[in-house]
Amino acid sequence: MGPVFRGILAVMSTQKPVMLSGIKPTGELHIGNYFGAMRQIVELAKSREYRPFVMVADYHALNTMQDAVEMRRRTEELVAGYLAAGLDGDDIVLFKQSDVSAHTELAWIFDTITTMPYLMRAHAFKAHIQKIQDLSETQVGSVIKTSLLRNWFKPKEERSKYVSFDVNLERVLKSLAEISVGTFNYPVLMAADILLYDTKVVPVGQDQKQHIEYARDIAEKFNHVFKTETFKLPESRILPEVAIVPGTDGQKMSKSYGNVIPLFASREEIIKRVMGIVTDSGGERPENVYAIHKLIKSEEELAPLYTEHAGKYKALKEALIEDLDAFIAPMRTRYESLMQDTEAIRAVLTKGAEIANIESKAKMLQVKAAIGVN
């Protein structure tokens, strides 16, 4: 290939729209992550229609995971997980958020144009507050709750003048009342992640939809305040049929609910998790089993099986075990061998960080010019 052609190719590739997504390295990947987000990330990356950026959201993870050994291990696992799921380290920019300081720098700039009431409307924050409200009234009267929260900043001796409470209850309330600034600010850092690269599409599961809307709002606000067109508006890409993958209890599959099927589960683990699927007695078709089965086989493929074994939950669970194992096994093998080669994982991240730093520095020059600190 001649230099001119290579030059044209380079220009064309820079004109491709950017796709960016991220996952926090906070726990074992599960099939909800895979079907909701990772599979689309892999497909979009392979389509070559986008320039794919995939990020390990380690600074987001720091809100809940404050242990250096675990952070390192989970980061390696997540990168190996992405690669085992089909990403090719040579074709994508796979990087750690913490390796690119422009993310936190831009988040600060966004902080200055973002109001507290706006962030208080975020679902994740509201869910947190709801948890405080949901503490049963028998456990703690609403007067005590309010008083405790209002007086939290006072010294303990003084607080106990207002209310008396047992130590356990105090611990529960403390963890709820003392939400970190980082958790409150989560959507701002995420907006920076997305906007730094002029991202066009953000493939995610349904639970992230509002975060992408926040990124759009923040982009518009910045452009408006500084009378500029620095930021482009991103769009979420959520696949309706897998927007909320259910777990073994029928609720949304989530590592925080303990209802997951791990993406690289061993056969024994698959058996254990599938046998643990909650089956509501009575119906012909165990809905929680079927909902997971439908992820890996089409409804047409499943119809004869579910007709033949109507009402026989054990047989249907056994069929699901076989299908899940067949689906997971090749990825599990790749994952296990990648985990043997942590040097290679580090090399992918180093290369990714180099490119992400170059791109984001260029964007920060525009941002600094727009706000007048250049």
- Summarize as ranges the residues that interact with ligand TRP (CB under 6 A): 20-24, 57, 60, 190, 193-194, 202, 204, 208, 211
Among 74, 96, 252, 273, the residue binding ligand ADP under the rule CB under 6 A is: 252
Beta bridge partners of 237: 203
Binding partner at 253 among ligand ADP, ligand TRP, none, C-beta below 5 to 8 Å by kind: ligand ADP
Among 37, 144, 194, 261, the residue binding ligand ADP under the rule CB under 6 A is: 37
Number of residues that this document lists for the chain: 374
Beta carbon nearer to ligand TRP, 64 or 337: 64
Closest CA to 210 of 280, 324, 97, 121: 121
Pairing of strands 235-237, 199-203: parallel
Among 256, 307, 337, 350, the residue binding ligand ADP under the rule CB under 6 A is: 256
Residue 108: CB minimum distance to ligand TRP, A: 16
Beta bridge partners of 202: 236
Query: Is residue 60 part of the contact set for ligand ADP (CB under 6 A)?
Result: no
Residue 106: CB minimum distance to ligand TRP, A: 12
Binding partner at 100 among ligand TRP, ligand ADP, none, C-beta below 5 to 8 Å by kind: none
Closest CA to 313 of 349, 283, 272: 283
CB–CB of 159/177 below 8 Å?
A: no
Q: Residue 249: CB partners within 8 Å, gap ≥ 6?
A: 257, 259, 277, 278, 288
Q: In the range 9-28, which residues lie near ligand ADP by CB under 6 A?
A: 23-24
Beta carbon nearer to ligand ADP, 101 or 256: 256
Residue 169: CB minimum distance to ligand TRP, A: 30
Beta carbon nearer to ligand ADP, 199 or 254: 254
Beta bridge partners of 22: 55
Residue 86: CB minimum distance to ligand ADP, A: 15
Grouping H, G, I as helix, E, B as strand and the rest as coil, residue 234 is coil
Binding partner at 60 among ligand ADP, ligand TRP, none, C-beta below 5 to 8 Å by kind: ligand TRP
Query: Is residue 234 part of the contact set for ligand ADP (CB under 6 A)?
Result: no
Name the DSSP class of 200. Answer: E
Residue 325: CB minimum distance to ligand TRP, A: 27
d(CA 121, CA 101): 27
d(CA 256, CA 28): 11
CB–CB of 188/107 below 8 Å?
A: yes
Binding partner at 245 among ligand TRP, ligand ADP, none, C-beta below 5 to 8 Å by kind: ligand ADP
Pairing of strands 51-56, 93-96: parallel
Grouping H, G, I as helix, E, B as strand and the rest as coil, residue 370 is helix
- Residues engaged in binding ligand ADP (CB under 6 A): 23-24, 32-33, 36-37, 204-205, 207-208, 242, 244-245, 252-256
